[in-house]
Amino acid sequence: MTIIDRVKKIIEHEGISTRQFCIKIGAANGFLDKVKDIGSEKVSNILYAYPEISPEWLLTGNGEMLKEDNNKIINAEPSVSDLFKAVGNLTEIMKMSAEIERIKAEAHAESIRLNAEIEKEKAETERIKAESSAESIRLNAENEKLKLENERLNAQSNDRNSKTMEYIISSLLASGKTPHEKKRTTSENSL
């Protein structure tokens, strides 16, 4: 519950309109709808106009809304020390609120920075994937080209082997010797 919510609770407790409340504390009509927090002057005015309200409750939300002393509401005006204490508490709360806002802003900025870094990493990953895919396609094409070249060379080699065999066989047939006899003759000549 914020201090604005607690002020609205006072208005509800008193059974008056927001306008009547604003008049009593010397504030502009509708100021509660325009602010997130109220200044120390308005806190002092509220505590002066409604002395039964606990300064601690108004500023922090701790304790009960109404001051109690032996179950009786104290209708005395707040003391100067109470007002200074309330203003001091309000100042401390405002400092803490400013620190929280600063931390929120830093966290938000860090979140934006990290999201940008993640997007950058995603883009780099996609670029690497695309390069890798292109390289893979290029290598596959080169591999296919090499396979075709290998098959062509094998076919040429087979064709040459076949022609060499035909030549040897036709030479042997022309000489009238069988391949086995040719081997024997070659072996005998070498002796």
Q: Please give the CATH architecture assigned to the domain spanning 3-78.
A: Orthogonal Bundle (1.10)
pLDDT in tens, 15-25: 999 889 988 99
Residue 55 CA neighbour count, 13 Å, CB half: 23
Q: Name the nearest CA neighbour of 121 among 131, 129, 133.
A: 129
What is the rounded distance in angstroms from the CA atom of residue 154 to the CA atom of residue 17? 102
Give 119 or 29, the one with higher predicted confidence.
119
Residue pair 55/78 in contact by the 8 Å Cβ criterion:
yes
pLDDT exceeds cutoff 70 at 58: yes
Q: Which two tokens stand for residue 112?
A: 């934006």
In sequence order, which residues have a C-beta less than 8 Å from that of residue 4 and are 6 or more positions away? 32, 35, 36, 37, 38
pLDDT for res 183: 58
What is the rounded distance in angstroms from the CA atom of residue 113 to the CA atom of residue 106? 10
Domain ranges of the chain: 3-78
pLDDT in tens, 103-136: 988 898 999 999 999 999 999 999 999 998 889 8
pLDDT for res 94: 81
pLDDT exceeds cutoff 90 at 188: no
Predicted TM-score (pTM) above 0.85: no
pLDDT for res 72: 45
Q: Name the nearest CA neighbour of 53 among 89, 31, 86.
A: 86
